[in-house]
Structure formats: C-alpha cells, structure tokens
Amino acid sequence: MLKETEKEFLKGYDQSKYERPSVTADSVTLTVRRGERRSFRYDPENKLRLLLIRRKNHPYKGCWALPGGFLEPGESIEECVLRELYEETGAKPSALFPLGMYSKPGRDPRGWIISEAFVTVIRGDTEVRGGDDAEDARWFDVSFFKDGNGRRKFRLEDGETVITPDEGESDSLAFDHARIISDALSMIAERVRHGGHIYEFLPDKFTFAELQASYEALTGETEQSSNFRRKMSAQVEPTGQFTSGSGHRPAELYRRKDKETDI
C-alpha cells in the first residue's frame, strides 16, 4: 500500500530530469547441427553453430553482429531479446540463459548504450532469414583453437567468411560482440558440463551418439562412448524405437527422463 505522501512524491517525479542510457538486449544464438554424410558408411559430423546478422544500418554497417536491439517500454529484457531475435532472423529459441551486462563506456559509437546479453538455444536445423535491421542472417560454424599464449580462442566460418576475433580488423565483429561471444561460449560449456543443460539442443528423441556429439561440440571435451553412456544413462530413458538406414547397427532412440522432484 502506498502512503499518501508517497503518492504525492510519485506525482512529482519526473524521470526525464535524469540522464539515462539506451538499453539493448543481444542474443548469442547457438545450435548443434548435423553436417553432410561423407558416404553411406559414416555418420554425419555434429557441429556447433552461431547465428549472426549482417547489419543493414550504421554503425558497423555491413559488419556481422549479434542479433539484438533496443528495449522498449512495457517489455522485460527477456521479451526484448526474443522479439529482436525473431524480427531479425525468424528464429524461436527453446531456451534462454542470462549472460550479463556489457556497459563499458565507449562500447557503442552512438553514445551511451549498454547491453544485456543472453545465450539462446535453437533446437536442430532452423532456417533463418535476414529481417528488420538485418541485411542477412547466417549460421557460422564455431571452432576452437589455442593462441600463442595457450588461451582458448574461437573462429567462425560459413564457407565464404572466416571471422577470427583479435587478428586484424578485417571481417571483425561489431561493437564488443567478440567478447560477448567468447563469454557466452565459456558459460554454455559450463552449463552443459555441470548444469545438465544439453537437452535444449536436442530433439525430443535422440540417440546416444547424437547426445554425445552435441555434448562434445559444446564442451570441447571428448569421452569414450561407453563411459559417456554410463554417465548419462540415469538422465534418459529408452523409447523402444530405433534408427535405420545408417549403414551400421541401428541405435535406440532415447528421451530425457523427467527430472526428479526433490521433496
């Protein structure tokens, strides 16, 4: 209950007297996508991919950037990031993880603009299209390598374009988006490793090979399939259905087991 004096205070309160920043929400949008089969005999590779847009407008016009845009009155920051992602690329995520705020002065040449970043996850293959502020939208393959100092870096490739942040300025990313992506990839690897967040990347039914391939694409770790199977077996349950036409022994399809309710 607001007191009378508080009502009066609010009546006299004028937000426009104070300087305010513009606020944006940016989305590091990830998926694990099957590649091509090399022959009837080999399974397709599963690769981590990141969704970028090419900016239609200044600043950084023509550069690749994270989908995102300005927070509007009456919406939450989560609604904002989902709206902007849909407007610019047509994508609808299956999960949303908060990453944090990027507010370093000077990060946007237009002025005082701060951004809240999220990781969004898209299940399986999704067609994307450029829309709104985006001239184009494309999935980039994400790969990791170590730089001279042994630090883990990432590289983005889509056939035409190769983006390697911090190495020259050509084909680089807009704003501080390289840093945001780097933080996002670390965060999501941690969530997959220890938080059990892997099923957001998978369809309802999946084989153990798909589960493991996605896990490895996201964490960069490799494990023996027998040990991986044992480690994950408590989290999934068999469906009784099997793959076929794979050029080798069929694999059973599993689904995620409902989480236990902890009293």
Partner DNA sequence: CAAATAGTGTCTCTAAGACAATATCAC
Partner DNA sequence: GTGATATTGTCTTAGAGACACTATTTG
Of positions 22, 161, 225, 241, contacts a second copy by CB under 8 A: 22
Nearer to DNA, 41 or 259 (CB): 41
Nearer to a second copy, 111 or 159 (CB): 111
Nearer to DNA, 59 or 250 (CB): 250
Contact flags string 103-132 toward a second copy, x per CB under 8 A: xxx---xxxxxx-x----------------
Separation between Cα atoms, residue 143 and residue 206, nearest integer Å: 24
Binding site for DNA (CB under 7 A): 40-43, 207-209, 223-227, 229-231, 242, 244-252
3-state SS of 204-258 is: CCECHHHHHHHHHHHHCCCCCHHHHHHHHHHHEEEEEEECCCCCCCCCEEEEECC
Question: How many of the chain's residues bind a second copy (CB under 8 A)?
Answer: 46
Nearer to a second copy, 35 or 196 (CB): 196
Residue 148 CB, nearest approach to a second copy (Å): 13
Q: Is 230 in the site for a second copy (CB under 8 A)?
A: no
Please identify which residue in the block is written with the tokens 């983006």: 163
Partner from a second copy, DNA, none contacting 259, C-beta within 5 to 8 A by type: none
Q: Is 58 in the site for a second copy (CB under 8 A)?
A: yes
Sign of torsion, CA 84 87 89 90?
A: positive
For residue 9, give every residue at least 6 positions away whose Cβ sits within 8 Å of its Cβ, in sequence order, or none.
none
Q: Is 101 in the site for a second copy (CB under 8 A)?
A: yes
What stretch of H or E contains 194? helix 177-195
Nearer to DNA, 9 or 242 (CB): 242
Token pair of 217 as six digits: 């694409």
Dihedral-angle region of residue 131 (phi above 0 means left; psi in -120 to 50 means alpha; beta otherwise)? beta
Of positions 28, 51, 53, 71, contacts a second copy by CB under 8 A: 71
* Chain CA centroid to CA 186, Å: 11
Per-residue DSSP letters for 172-190? Answer: -BSTTHHHHHHHHHHHHHH
Q: Is 4 in the site for a second copy (CB under 8 A)?
A: no
Partner from a second copy, DNA, none contacting 70, C-beta within 5 to 8 A by type: a second copy
Q: Which residues bind a second copy (CB under 8 A)?
A: 1-3, 5-6, 9-10, 13, 15, 18-23, 57-61, 70-78, 98, 100-101, 103-105, 109-114, 116, 150, 169, 194, 263
